Structure 1
Amino acid sequence: MRATSSVTVGRDSEIRLLDEALESVRTGAGRAVFLLGEAGIGKSRLAGESALRAYGRGMPVLRGRATSTGLVVPFRPLVEALASRFRAAGAPDDPELQPYRPALAGLVPEWRTGAAAPGYAISLVELAEALLRLLAVLGRECGCVMLLEDLHDSDTETIAVVEYIVDNVAQLPVLLVGTLRPGPGPALDLALAAELRNTAALRELGPLDEAAVQDMAAACLDAGPGEVPPAAHRHLAQWAGGNPYLVEVLLADLLDTGRLSRDDGGWRLAEHAGAPVPAGAVRSWARRLDRLDEPVRELLLVAATLGGRFSVGALRAVTGLDDRALFAHLRSASEVGIIAPDGAAHDHYTFRHALTADALRASLPPAEQAALARRAASAIEESACELTGEKRQLLATLLLAAGDEVAASRQFAQVGRQMLDAGASGSAAVLLERARGLAADEDRDGVTVQLAIAQAESGRLVEAAALLDDLPPAPAGSRTAEERAQAHTQVAWAATMAEQQEVARRRIRAARALLGAAPRPEQEAALAVVEGHLALLPEPDGRAGGDDRAGGEGRAGGDGRGRLEEAERSARSAALTAEQRGRPVVACQAWQLLAMLSRERGFDEADACLERMLAVAEQHRLAVYRAEALVRLGTNAFMRTGEATRLETARAAAHELGSLALLQAVDGFLAMQSVLGGRWDRARGIVERSVEASARLQNLSTHRYLLLVDATLAAHQGRAREQERALLRFRRAGGEESMLVPLQRGLCQAVGALMGEDRGRAKSELDAALAWEREHPSFFYLSGRYGLGPLLRILDGEDGGPQAYREALASPGGQLAWNRMFLDMAEAVLRGRDGDPDGALRAVERAGRAAAVFPQAWHLALRLTAEAALADAWGEPVSWLRTAEEYFHEAGVPAVAGACRAVLRHAGASVRQRRGGRERIPAGLRAAGVTPREYEVFVLLAERPGNQRIAQRLSISPRTVEKHMASLMTKTGSADRAALCALSAECADGP
């Protein structure tokens, strides 16, 4: 007989906490709550209570539980949580989730839209960000709840994702509730650290007091106040220790034995002198087993040996029962409340409580436990044609219970290697660590090498290095030495990508020592590629080589010239060797490095390297390197022509791959392309969509670049205050210690100064960028050195202007569309001064063709050059100034528009009067301070469209629409959106 309570008792303060959290989430203020307590203390009951209360508020609920079997199953609670919500509904189709679908498909394979990209595993942070976005979309209307139970049994990947959500949920309509036991481990560390950081509430559940135990017993028995016999209450209080689960177990035992019964007079407890009193769950479950039929009892003992959760197939293999008998016994066990079907998998069952399986196993003597585990292991091994990772872990667990540590170690090690190959490095490290502790002497070193690689790929480089350093010596050139050298090289690559150059260099030295004086060509190639990338990282004295991922374009020079030339020679040899020796990954890494190093000789050679990289990646189906090659080719094409066609192709490849980090990098380049192309609303939309996400993703180089794009956007619009605010965020993110300084000084601050008509400050910023480039090997071509700088020097008549022009013209940077436009205008000024008006006009025409995709820069060049044309009597300066004035007036850059008008007046030309575009706004709205852009949003509201539709109509971001809506409601005094829409319908003059 089951004895369960239909209500939650003794947890009033915890329920208030959860209620407050639910209300907070409804207003968009996310929360995280951890419920901590021993097994059976009521954590799951409280989680269920929070789910019921969320359902009552109309909130979606996603609920998952970690496996209690001891198996390492990456992301199991998250997979179950998503399945609980979307199993019937299918994949969400919100457009906002489109970039995150590939990452989410890692949790729900049914959401995959095509074949998985080979060789690429979604990073933990990418997956966590995708899940966070999904939860935000689900909670958009009234909030949502994710319940994750038994986190103490979770894999390391799940813990990492939960930590990410906890740290970033505050501004989202999401409540995360996690339950865990108080034993030491990553889950407890996470909960304690989150409480310390004030990013989560941690509530430890203590035992119920006697009054609560009495209330719970009454609820289980459906008894009224005072109807539970005092003797029964004393029995429960004495032996349950305030544990709700044990209260139910012991109460069920009283009912099953007939000691507690009900008659017309109510509930009665029969006293049995000398009757054995259960000391806890073990004795209680042993007694209950004795009352079950023999086949059912045997089946439950086998199931408990398989763990708290078990599959029908494994149970069938061990018991040898046919389906009819097997399911009859499972049904019997379910009816008495011992097991229940697992909602996450149709062919699995779980014990009602993890303590149940523990108690059943403990009811057997140790020798019988070991014999049963050995029997189960043999049956599973013989029945499976091919062991999956989960079955192999179960087999290892059973072998360990049977006392065969060496066999268990080999199974754990094999699963660990499989997980490492699949990209689950955290879980792989857990299993390999377990295998290493059990391994025989002859196996331990090999497991240690694999564990070191897993630790490095998980970001634990110090631990990886320590493992490799602790290995015993191996003869140089031996097979063992070669395997270890490869591990050192892999750890060095991971350290290089993490910009931990000293760790990388130590690993390279260790690898070379193991390989001896004459490594094989393919081994030398792998080492050379890592060393080549190290050449681009900062030297200990602060000098640096740079990374084109951060800025998307560049040059190399300065003190590191010899070092970079040697890196290029080694990389070219490595690329050819790797292709010949069947090492396509090394070949792609080498061609990618060569594309950066060869730019100074021209972009044709750089693109040829990238095309070679693309060909190798496509031939060997290396999706990651294919996308990387496309991104770099797209970036080069954008710089050469100003067009973004190939960048859009690269973005599609990054999206198909599912790499959020690469997708954000492409979006950063597209945002900068939009700034240079004068498509400011598009640039702002990209930045708003990606800048915070890149910070959460720890995609630091792209985050800095997006912050610089934001500052550059404000600078090019002449918004000095917004520029300074954005630059402050850039500095706080370490931007002025990065390779982006030349762009910050030249492309952002110098142009911003020109938008404020401060030419002296613009030249100072360009000089600062040039000085920085002379001190540091650099990879940037759009800093002003190759275009805008020479033009300003020539306009101001500086002696060094023509020489700067000639040097820029002779460099690859001078052939880029953005720079070429300014250089052509510089040539026009020089020819005009030399009395060649026709040649000057031809140069202006060439500049105009180069500037077709850069309207803002083109009109700035016209404004700057017109004064020289007026002074030297060539060209059409009045027409140019009027064109520039019109552009900058419409663009809202009053300083430049005003300067154009001033020069026109000085030249004796007529000047058009401006009214600021506010004449269309009704007087009442003008008086309220409504701006022209806000008015464009206002007139559309008569149709009552959603923010997404308004954004599409006006080519702005939904977030910008939200800002305009908030401002309009404040300025018009509208109580809500409906009132604002009604006002629009009344007084707007139509869209």
Structure 2
Amino acid sequence: MIGRRAELRTLKGVLDDARSGRGGAVFVVGEAGIGKTRLAVEVAELAAADGMRVLRGRSSTIGPMVPFRPLSEALLGVARNHGQDLADEIGPYLPALGVLVPEWQQDTGGGFSLTVIAEAILRLLTHVSERNGCALVLDDLHDADAETLFILEYLTDNLAISRTLLIGTIRDVPSDAARIARSAAQRGSCAMLELAGLDQETVHRMAAACLDAEAAELPGTVAEQLWRTSAGNPFVVEELLREWFDDGRLVRSGGSWHLVRDLPAAVPAALVHNIAVRTEHLGEQGIEMLSAAATAGQRFPLSVVQRATAMDDRRLLSYVRAGVAAQLIVHDETEPGWYCFRHPLTAEALLAQLTPTTRGRLAARVADAIAALYPELPGEWCPLVGSLRLAAGDRFDAAALFARAGRRALMGAAADSAVTLLTKADDLLTEHLDLGFRGEVRETLVYALGEIGRFEQAFELATSFSGMATPTQVVALHVRMAWLAYLAGNYEDGIHQVSAARTAHGVAPYDEQRAAMDAVHANLLLEMPGQDNIATAEQLANQALSLAEQHGVPAITCQALQVLGIAARERDLDEAERRFEQAQQVADEHRLSLMRTHVLVRLAGHRVLSDADTSSLELARQEATRTGAITATCALDAIDTLNTVLRGDFPAAARRLPDNLDRTTRLKLSDLVRYTHATRAILAAHRGNRVDMAAAITDLEEYGGETSQEMSLCSGLARPFCSLLEEDVDRARRELDLAAETEQARPSGFHLTGQHGLRVLLDVLAGDLAPDQDLPSSAAGRMRWNRQFVHWATAVQLGRRGDPAAANRAAASALTAAEPYRMARHLGARLVTEAATADGWGDPVGWLRGAEEYFYQASVPAVASACRSLLRNHGEAVNQRRTGHESVPAELRRVGVTVREYDVFCLLAKRLGNKEIAKRLHISPKTVEKHVSSLLTKTHSASRVVLSEYATVIAR
């Protein structure tokens, strides 16, 4: 740490910040050998000494990039030390981490987007750091793969919510990692710590320490020579000292150190020369062994080196010991039988000494050795052997291996790396005659491009399939990309892919392909505004279902049945339920885990709408957790939160919304972000808060929601209710008219926009529907939220017809339907009380008292005041809203017990007489007698004894 004390203090400060709850990231940048890793290791040791959890990983320095390598290495330690608590804490995100850690892999039936994996890692770090903090050290990020860098950028922007410090080391060369770090630093998301070379004085002190001497014992001329030759690079300083000492140039005599021969001055050449000198004494076979090791990578197993060099055990181990003694290689303690070079520059210097021909021959031998020892070429071996085959001049085998590695990367959610590997394979096959293989590679490459959202490039590449792929391959690819676009909420891109699929095959595709195109097209149409979209989607889904059942394609069957279930909601809720249950049965029979999750989400949403049944939400959430379907989990949370608003549990909804919005925004789930903003607006409206409602609607508009289905939801479920809570019925009706126009212009799958429930009630109350006129009837009107208002409207009509008994039955049905919806229940009752009073049905006084109490407690003064006025019109005593009124139990407030009467009531529980009560309350006995009489009337108590017993029960 000589010369790095200031940097160490800086890192110690951000480490303390992380432990205290202010997580973040810092990147240590500098040239090779400058001390980045040494500084990071020192900080990691300080973190461990303070009780923090330390996770470490590094990128591959030699050979091809391996997806997620540094992150996988870091998280393996967590897997060894955490069990069920991880599943409990990060829930559905745990399967996404199976891409990085084999122990967490699950058969989920599908892959995960990079954003989901990044969010999973963020949640894992948040959990791991919860108690004492965590230091995540990632080394050599300049060599990291695209997937790791994507996650790195995501973590950098979001670690503030955890107690984790990310420390990354990056070589000061042009790289994506350096670009990401500098961009993050500019926007304040991380800190950059750039290490410069040591000055001459510091090199002097460092050299003396390396020689276990005092600075005065090392002449300034030696230190100056070291500084000039090394340019202040600590690693080169160490290597030069070692070389000078080993070859006798640097000697100790007379109590100090001296140089006895001249020295070369060029740093790269000096380092290469240094390594060459230190390997000379190993002999030709020793150099061959180390060169083979360097060809295999920064880390290498002895078994590969032995097979490539054909050495026996005794000779191999003797050269390994010599390499360790020369401090060229060290034992890798993470895995038995593995070694690594002491520094990446060591391996690079060894390879620099080889001629291209020698390197090619050695690459072929190492590739053969790896293939013999690891026939399946798992993990990083496949792309490494591909690079070795290419170095040996075997372009076709290299292309095959890159293609194989690319497919694996794609299956492991490493689509960026897949694109890189598949592009290499595609380039190598440009002049190859095996057109079938070229077509397969190109098809997979197009799919990988679609996975990372590069749709235009993917489409352009797909159109170049002529002569190297069949139309069947092209159609299948576009259909698959369309479904991915649907899941990601990129509906217009999905429609574009369906169109491309239809164009690619012409007018007469195979039945299975036509079914696939129709099914995904139908799902996309349901999510897009358009007057005929639902009808068109149902027609396409019926065609797809018929063909899918005929040819036995269960996944397409499920896709089609979901569309038919949603379309059926327009006319028959029971039919919709049957369609969703049929889709679930198909998914169960064919073990389509991910598809089953999507079906359960649809089914849960349907049951919430049809009868406020939330039990299916929990079942769907459990399934989404098991399969790691993060998008489905977010959708379920969004549905549940809106349902919580409708149920009137406003504090719970307010607690959930920020997390919902934060998560969906980070995951870039545009449709769910808009849905969450709409829910914010509805929550504010149902609280009578017009300012917050308007702010949420503005946020929705700015997020592209002006022409979205979510805006239709706000038009019918937010604005009119806010107006009703302001006692402005006329404005509410105008807003419902606007909502109807919006719904007509852009029909949606939302059936809560007021047209099938609240609008019916307000039209009846206004006299727009005559008592003998039939009310509008629809399947949407039978959904429970809408049903409560339809029943109230029916009661009003029956009362006006002169049938109070039937009106009472309809009112009872309305109250039953409204049972889950606390605010709407009281609002509906308040709206009909004047009609009920005029026509002699229902319990208007009881409804007004309940509504007045509710809206007073909910701080909705307009409705509470209106209820009090109506109660006075009935000749009823009105609650006095004095200070302390909230202390009166709800059941007593409902019958009009005042604050002072409640004081008397409490003392009755102690069986006190009027005089004693008067003395305690500082009022006259006559006033006490008056309050007791009022309490007897309001509580319907037969005697003072009964009233006292009731007071005792309430007190208890």
If the length of structure 2 is used for normalisation, what is the TM-score? Answer: 0.86
* Structure 1 residues 170-181: aligned runs within 5 Å: 170-181=160-171
Q: Distance in 2 between matches of 1:373 and 1:102?
A: 37
Check if 1:854 corresponds to 2:821: yes
> Against the structure 1 CA distance between its residues 755 and 346, is the aligned structure 2 distance closer, same or farther, given a 3 Å change threshold?
farther
Deviates more, 1:318-327 or 1:571-580: 318-327
Q: CA deviation at 1:799?
A: 4.7
Check if 1:382 corresponds to 2:363: no
CA distances 1:201-250 after superposition (whole Å, capped 9, x unpaired): 33443433333332332232232223223453344234323322222222
Q: Amino acid of the residue matched to residue 648 of structure 1?
A: E
Deviates more, 1:657-666 or 1:94-103: 94-103
Report the 3-state secondary structure (helix = DSSP H, G, I; strand = E; otherwise coil) of the residue aligned with 2:28: strand
Check if 1:154 corresponds to 2:154: no
Report the 3-state secondary structure (helix = DSSP H, G, I; strand = E; otherwise coil) of the residue aligned with 1:70: coil
Aligned partner of 1:605 in structure 2 is 575
* Structure 1 residues 430-579: aligned runs within 5 Å: 430-439=420-429, 440-442=431-433, 443-472=437-466, 480-497=470-487, 504=494, 507-536=497-526, 538=528, 544-545=529-530, 560-561=531-532, 563-579=533-549
Aligned partner of 1:970 in structure 2 is none
Verify the 8 A CA contact 2:723 2:732 in the aligned structure 1. Answer: yes
Check if 1:806 corresponds to 2:780: no
Report the 3-state secondary structure (helix = DSSP H, G, I; strand = E; otherwise coil) of the residue aligned with 1:781: coil
Q: CA deviation at 1:572?
A: 1.6
Aligned partner of 1:942 in structure 2 is none
Q: CA deviation at 1:86?
A: 5.5
Aligned partner of 2:39 in structure 1 is 46
> Against the structure 1 CA distance between its residues 12 and 738, is the aligned structure 2 distance closer, same or farther, given a 3 Å change threshold?
farther
Verify the 8 A CA contact 1:743 1:783 in the aligned structure 2. Answer: yes
Q: CA deviation at 1:55?
A: 4.1
Deviates more, 1:92-101 or 1:584-593: 92-101
Aligned with 2:71 (options 74, 78, 86): 78
Q: CA deviation at 1:154?
A: 1.4
Q: Amino acid of the residue matched to residue 464 of structure 1?
A: A
Q: CA deviation at 1:521?
A: 0.6
Verify the 8 A CA contact 2:516 2:556 in the aligned structure 1. Answer: yes
Verify the 8 A CA contact 1:72 1:431 in the aligned structure 2. Answer: no
> Against the structure 1 CA distance between its residues 181 and 592, is the aligned structure 2 distance closer, same or farther, given a 3 Å change threshold?
farther
Q: Distance in 2 between matches of 1:514 and 1:727?
A: 42
Higher-Rg member (1/2): 2
Verify the 8 A CA contact 2:230 2:267 in the aligned structure 1. Answer: no
Report the 3-state secondary structure (helix = DSSP H, G, I; strand = E; otherwise coil) of the residue aligned with 2:257: strand
Q: Distance in 1 between matches of 2:547 and 2:266?
A: 79
> Against the structure 1 CA distance between its residues 202 and 259, is the aligned structure 2 distance closer, same or farther, given a 3 Å change threshold?
same
Unaligned 5+ residue runs, structure 1? 1-6, 539-543, 546-559, 922-989
Aligned with 2:877 (options 890, 897, 910): 910
Report the 3-state secondary structure (helix = DSSP H, G, I; strand = E; otherwise coil) of the residue aligned with 2:26: strand
Aligned partner of 2:762 in structure 1 is 792
Q: CA deviation at 1:795?
A: 1.5
Q: Distance in 2 between matches of 1:124 and 1:458?
A: 9
Deviates more, 1:667-676 or 1:505-514: 505-514
Q: CA deviation at 1:281?
A: 1.9
CA distances 1:120-139 after superposition (whole Å, capped 9, x unpaired): 22221122112222333444
Aligned partner of 1:252 in structure 2 is 242
Q: CA deviation at 1:31?
A: 3.0
> Against the structure 1 CA distance between its residues 325 and 666, is the aligned structure 2 distance closer, same or farther, given a 3 Å change threshold?
farther
> Against the structure 1 CA distance between its residues 26 and 120, is the aligned structure 2 distance closer, same or farther, given a 3 Å change threshold?
same
Q: Amino acid of the residue matched to residue 775 of structure 2?
A: R
Q: Distance in 2 between matches of 1:33 and 1:482?
A: 50
CA distances 1:165-214 after superposition (whole Å, capped 9, x unpaired): 12223454433222222444432332233234332333443433333332
Verify the 8 A CA contact 1:41 1:205 in the aligned structure 2. Answer: yes
Aligned with 2:785 (options 802, 818, 826): 818
Q: Distance in 2 between matches of 1:800 and 1:517?
A: 54
Larger relative contact order (Cα-Cα within 8 Å, sequence gap ≥ 6): 1
> Against the structure 1 CA distance between its residues 918 and 837, is the aligned structure 2 distance closer, same or farther, given a 3 Å change threshold?
closer
Q: Distance in 2 between matches of 1:343 and 1:763?
A: 74
Aligned partner of 1:678 in structure 2 is 648
CA distances 1:62-108 after superposition (whole Å, capped 9, x unpaired): 22111223333221111222234563465655954344333344433
CA distances 1:296-327 after superposition (whole Å, capped 9, x unpaired): 54432221110112234433443455667655
Aligned partner of 1:614 in structure 2 is 584
* Structure 1 residues 870-889: aligned runs within 5 Å: 870-889=837-856
Aligned partner of 1:965 in structure 2 is none
CA distances 1:496-553 after superposition (whole Å, capped 9, x unpaired): 5556566555544443344244221111112222333443455xxxxx14xxxxxxxx
Q: Distance in 2 between matches of 1:816 and 1:276?
A: 82
Q: Distance in 2 between matches of 1:681 and 1:500?
A: 33
Aligned partner of 2:359 in structure 1 is 369
Q: Distance in 2 between matches of 1:763 and 1:345?
A: 73
Aligned partner of 2:280 in structure 1 is 290
Count of paired positions: 886
Q: Distance in 1 between matches of 2:326 and 2:246?
A: 10
Q: Distance in 2 between matches of 1:627 and 1:157?
A: 26
CA distances 1:600-624 after superposition (whole Å, capped 9, x unpaired): 1222232333223222322332221
Verify the 8 A CA contact 1:464 1:491 in the aligned structure 2. Answer: no
Aligned with 2:396 (options 406, 425, 429): 406
Verify the 8 A CA contact 1:790 1:802 in the aligned structure 2. Answer: no
Aligned partner of 1:648 in structure 2 is 618
Q: CA deviation at 1:843?
A: 0.3
Q: CA deviation at 1:437?
A: 2.2
Q: Distance in 1 between matches of 2:554 and 2:62?
A: 40
Q: Distance in 2 between matches of 1:233 and 1:800?
A: 104
> Against the structure 1 CA distance between its residues 426 and 531, is the aligned structure 2 distance closer, same or farther, given a 3 Å change threshold?
same
Q: Distance in 1 between matches of 2:148 and 2:832?
A: 60
Verify the 8 A CA contact 1:794 1:802 in the aligned structure 2. Answer: no
Verify the 8 A CA contact 1:83 1:344 in the aligned structure 2. Answer: no
Unaligned 5+ residue runs, structure 2? 889-954
Q: Amino acid of the residue matched to residue 653 of structure 1?
A: E
Q: Distance in 2 between matches of 1:313 and 1:274?
A: 38
In angstroms, what is the RMSD of aligned CA positions? Answer: 3.1
CA distances 1:442-462 after superposition (whole Å, capped 9, x unpaired): 354442222111011111112
Check if 1:301 corresponds to 2:291: yes
Q: Distance in 2 between matches of 1:536 and 1:94?
A: 35
Verify the 8 A CA contact 1:125 1:161 in the aligned structure 2. Answer: yes
Q: Distance in 2 between matches of 1:594 and 1:196?
A: 50
Q: Distance in 1 between matches of 2:726 and 2:628?
A: 42
Q: CA deviation at 1:654?
A: 0.9
Q: Distance in 1 between matches of 2:412 and 2:550?
A: 26
Q: Amino acid of the residue matched to residue 466 of structure 1?
A: E
* Structure 1 residues 87-106: aligned runs within 5 Å: 87-88=80-81, 92-93=85-86, 96-106=89-99
Aligned partner of 1:842 in structure 2 is 809
> Against the structure 1 CA distance between its residues 730 and 849, is the aligned structure 2 distance closer, same or farther, given a 3 Å change threshold?
same
Report the 3-state secondary structure (helix = DSSP H, G, I; strand = E; otherwise coil) of the residue aligned with 1:146: strand
Q: CA deviation at 1:118?
A: 3.4
If the length of structure 1 is used for normalisation, what is the TM-score? Answer: 0.83
Report the 3-state secondary structure (helix = DSSP H, G, I; strand = E; otherwise coil) of the residue aligned with 2:217: coil
CA distances 1:688-727 after superposition (whole Å, capped 9, x unpaired): 4322122111122222222322332233233444444444
Q: Distance in 2 between matches of 1:274 and 1:506?
A: 64
> Against the structure 1 CA distance between its residues 60 and 914, is the aligned structure 2 distance closer, same or farther, given a 3 Å change threshold?
same
Aligned with 2:680 (options 710, 718, 726): 710
Q: Distance in 2 between matches of 1:68 and 1:291?
A: 27
* Structure 1 residues 420-435: aligned runs within 5 Å: 420-435=410-425
Aligned partner of 1:549 in structure 2 is none
Report the 3-state secondary structure (helix = DSSP H, G, I; strand = E; otherwise coil) of the residue aligned with 1:71: coil
> Against the structure 1 CA distance between its residues 435 and 32, is the aligned structure 2 distance closer, same or farther, given a 3 Å change threshold?
same
Verify the 8 A CA contact 1:150 1:180 in the aligned structure 2. Answer: yes
